[in-house]
Amino acid sequence: MLEYRRATDRPERLDAFLASAVEGLSRRRAQRFIEQRTVTVNGRSARKGQQLRDRDTVELWQDPTDPGWNAAPSPDLPLRVVHEDPHLIAVDKPPGIPTVPLAADEHDTLAGALVARYPECAPLGRHPGDAGLIQRLDRGTSGLALAARTAPAFEALLDLQENDDIEKVYLALVRASPEALPAAVDAPLGPAGRRGRTVRHDPDGRPAHTALEPRDAIGDLLLVQATIHRGFRHQIRAHLAHVGLPIAGDSSYGGPELEGLPRIFLHAEQVRLPHPLTGEPLELRAPLPGDLLPIVRPPTG
């Protein structure tokens, strides 16, 4: 993360700033990173030719020394496709696998399963190995993930996400509280913990908004519907913990352990968006998977 400090009265172009601030990065390559949407300014995708203001926060989401690589195909990994057309794929990610690889030789990722079946996804993304995916669900989280099949669709999906036109609805299970569930959490987030592996409320962090709604009461538990748009890493987990309602099974944020719960109870249930190329409204759903359903609907008899 870089913070821009203006040295003169004249504004500075983003590409020039990156070339001066990142060792070994040329201005031409900085321009390419901006075009590939691997640079953000204050949490939003940077624009070509963008001028920086004092104290702007600039982030480069790709190692400037990395020549780039694609996710290793994982043809044996199951892939449940919820929606497919020539431009867009929506899949239901199972729990227990990473969304994207951290290195070129990592197998058994959602990105790898996509590449094995849709090789045109391989070069698409803001980071190496993304395979056209525009969000990264945590390893333990299940549910809907969107991926582009073409470069124009990927660019359009990024624009939709940046303009808050993609609505993502998650289900989370928490301990019921005597206090009323807040309708929303507005709390900027920043890195915390060892090596920034978790996030927490940080007044100087990235602005983040999560809408909350009670779905079902199950004994002393509450199934919560959490809605976000762009979303940041661990946003729902950190926001619920921030208001004293950490998610069941989420040991990183102090969530309660429940008998029979094998992982964090967080599932991406719905995504609503206009189609990135046609504008047609899409509403996609992934029902609760078999490992979570018995927790909220215990068998009878």
CA angle 139, 95, 229 (to 5 degrees): 65
Residue 194 clears pLDDT 70, i.e. is over it: no
Write down the pLDDT at residue 131. 95
Q: How confident is the model at residue 10 (pLDDT cuts 50, 70, 90)?
A: low
Active site residue 63: no
Measure the CA–CA gap between 260 and 162, rounded to whole angstroms.
Answer: 38
Question: Residue 81: is its pLDDT beyond 60?
Answer: yes
Please tell me the predicted confidence (pLDDT) of residue 145: 98
Q: What is the pLDDT of residue 127?
A: 81
> Bigger pLDDT: 222 or 104?
222
pTM: 0.81
Residues 18 and 1: beta-carbon distance below 8 Å: no
Mean pLDDT of the region 172-192: 93
Query: Residue range 188-201: average pLDDT?
Result: 82
φ and ψ of 156, to 5 deg: -65, -40
Catalytic choice (15, 56, 92, 138): 138
- Domains along the sequence of the chain with CATH: 2-60 (3.10.290.10), 80-163 (3.30.2350.10), 168-268 (3.30.2350.10)
**Which stretches within the chain are classed as H helix?**
14-21, 27-35, 110-117, 151-162, 235-242, 293-296
- The radius of gyration computed from the CA coordinates of the chain, to the nearest angstrom, equals 20
In the numeric block, the tokens 């790898």 are attached to 112
User: 3-class SS at 264?
Assistant: coil
* Stronger pLDDT, 190 or 131, i.e. the higher one: 131
Classify 153 as helix, strand or coil: helix
The predicted model gives 162-179 an average pLDDT of 94
Q: CA-CA distance, 271 to 97, in Å (whole number)?
A: 20
* Cα gap 71→49, rounded to integer Å: 31
Q: Which amino acid is at 293?
A: L
Query: What's CA 64's distance to the chain center, in Å?
Result: 22
**What is the amino acid identity at position 91?**
V
Rounded to the nearest integer, the mean pLDDT of the chain is: 90
The pLDDT of residue 227 is above 60: yes
pLDDT value for 110: 98
pLDDT at 8 over 70: no
